Amino acid sequence: MASGISPKLPLRHSKEDGFYEMHKEASEAIKQDFKMLVLTSPGERVMDPQFGVGIRRYLFEPLNGNTFEIIRSVIISQASTYMTYITISGMDFADQGGQTSSQNTLYIKIFYEIPSLSDSDFLELTIS
């Protein structure tokens, strides 16, 4: 019998959890859902063509303050529509070493809170 909240992606077989490895904590499942929201392109999800940020479409745009502001507003809008249980508290467009996003590589770190769990975390992505 499966024991957990949702399957971990990518799917992997697990004898412990049932057929697939499962998230045991709500905060882990929320982080995965948030990552999927940011990486999914609008029109990619069946039956909901508005779902997704489509972060990859910004790779070949000028990576400057204007583009970052557009990305920021799209992420906030999508999260407020599809993930009403989180609050975005900040975003940085640089990697751990402080290197700013460069041509055809986008570094983004999104800080968010989960008020119902009294928890906070961040999602860090490098898109190239």
Average pLDDT over residues 5-30: 84
- What is the rounded CA–CA span in Å between residue 18 and residue 46? 27
- What is the rounded CA–CA span in Å between residue 13 and residue 54? 29
pLDDT reported for residue 18: 75
| pLDDT value at 17 more than 70 | yes
pLDDT digits (tens, 9 = 90+) for 54-107: 999 998 888 888 999 999 999 999 999 999 999 999 999 875 555 666 667 889
pLDDT reported for residue 112: 98
What does pLDDT average to over the chain?
Answer: 89
Which domains does the chain possess? Answer: 26-127 (3.10.450.40)
Are residues 55 and 108 in contact, defined by beta-carbon separation less than 8 angstroms? yes
pLDDT reported for residue 27: 94
Percent of the chain with pLDDT over 70: 91
Classify burial at 92, counting beta carbons within 10 Å of its beta carbon; exposed 0-12, middle 13-18, buried 19 or more: middle
pLDDT reported for residue 19: 81
Structure tokens at 118: 């009294």
Are residues 103 and 89 in contact, defined by beta-carbon separation less than 8 angstroms? no
**pTM: predicted TM-score of the whole model, two decimal places:** 0.87
- Reported as a pLDDT band with limits 50, 70 and 90, residue 48 is very high
